[in-house]
Amino acid sequence: MTTRVAAIDCGTNSIRLLVADIPADGSGTLTELDRRMEVVRLGQGVDRTGELAPEALERTLTTTREYAQAIERLGAERVRFVATSATRDARNREAFFSGVHQILGVEPEVISGDEEAQLSFRGATGVVGAAHPGPFLVVDLGGGSTELVLGTASVDAGYSMDVGSVRLTERHLRSDPPTAAEIEAAQADVRAALDDAARVVPLGKAVTLVGLAGSITSVTAHALGLARYERERIDGSVLPVHAVLAACDALLAAPREERAALGFMHPGRVDVIGAGALVWAEVVRRVVADVEASGGSLTEVVTSEHDILDGIALSIA
């Protein structure tokens, strides 16, 4: 017995839809019918103004209308719309709520960083858990925040850092390519956030490091040398740490024109991928160091295309 559900994840940079059939009790794996993503940059300027920009709101609601048509066409019985970092931070989020409710007939849920982390963990480990040993450290790198979650069969500890690709780009990385001073300032933000995270999440206990979301999958595509975005090759890929860090450094140093020419790069990610790569590099370096300090060794990184969107879908049942 299955239930057809629609999950929408609206973040700082992108809005994504997954329509899937899932076991009615929420166990097992989902059968994907439609998965899509649009970069709408809902979080444009939120870090500076504290409000959703009118043009960002209109872009997001326009895409929501397109998703509503797909949901109706596929006959999803239940819909869950989850909004994360940018909406949590916005004073005028009621305008967004009313627009989404009018289009979809459901109330958007602004979830906490903790719930965001748990949904990401459930979505990722439901697939990679069968192929790799735990404990897993799942890292979901978004536009406004980055979630770190440690666990095996379930979550043991999680933390949401207020650093992400859009937030750090707007705060620090204004030059093309970024200057050394801008990079140092951004790195200082991430390192301070990781210090706070490490007080909650014992990073050194990680056996398998799993990266999620668009910045990380783009870094992975670059490390794999892909000429175009190939989801099936990126999903579940295992890369040496040095290859991941080299790809991060290359994307951070590249000028915008060079990043835009990469066949796998989504146009909406071109201007923020440098910051995303910077965050991912700092996370990987810190986790490797903490694992080594705990007497272990972490030499590889896993990338998953299954993330919070899968977790939202599974949660509906």
- Which residues make up the CATH 3.30.420.40 domain(s) of the chain? 2-110
**pLDDT digits 0-9 by tens, 241-288:** 999 999 999 999 999 999 999 999 998 899 999 999 999 999 999 999
**Has residue 224 got a pLDDT over 80?**
yes
The pairing of beta strand 208-212 with beta strand 300-303: parallel
Distance CA 7, CA 32 (A): 11
SS3 label, residue 175: coil
The pairing of beta strand 146-151 with beta strand 208-212: unpaired
**pLDDT digits 0-9 by tens, 51-104:** 888 899 999 999 999 999 999 999 999 999 998 767 777 888 888 889 999 999
Distance CA 317, CA 267 (A): 34
Give the CATH H-level superfamily of domain 130-308.
Answer: Exopolyphosphatase. Domain 2 (3.30.420.150)
Check residue 2 and give its pLDDT: 87
Distance CA 31, CA 232 (A): 15
Residue 125 structure tokens: 């480990």
Check residue 41 and give its pLDDT: 85
* Residues contacting residue 245 through CB under 8 Å, at least 6 positions apart: 281, 284, 285
The residue-averaged pLDDT of 187-202 equals 97
Residue 277 structure tokens: 């790569």
- DSSP tag of 179: P
- Which residues make up the CATH 3.30.420.150 domain(s) of the chain? 130-308
What percent of the residues of the chain are helix, what percent strand, and what percent coil, each to the nearest 5? 50, 20, 30
**Has residue 140 got a pLDDT over 60?**
yes
Check residue 85 and give its pLDDT: 65
**Has residue 128 got a pLDDT over 80?**
no
Select 2-110's CATH number: 3.30.230.70, 3.40.190.10, 3.40.50.10140, 3.30.420.40. 3.30.420.40
Closest CA to 37 of 15, 19, 69: 15
Q: What is the pTM of this model?
A: 0.83
Note whether 5 and 79 are within 8 A (CB).
yes
Distance CA 9, CA 190 (A): 24
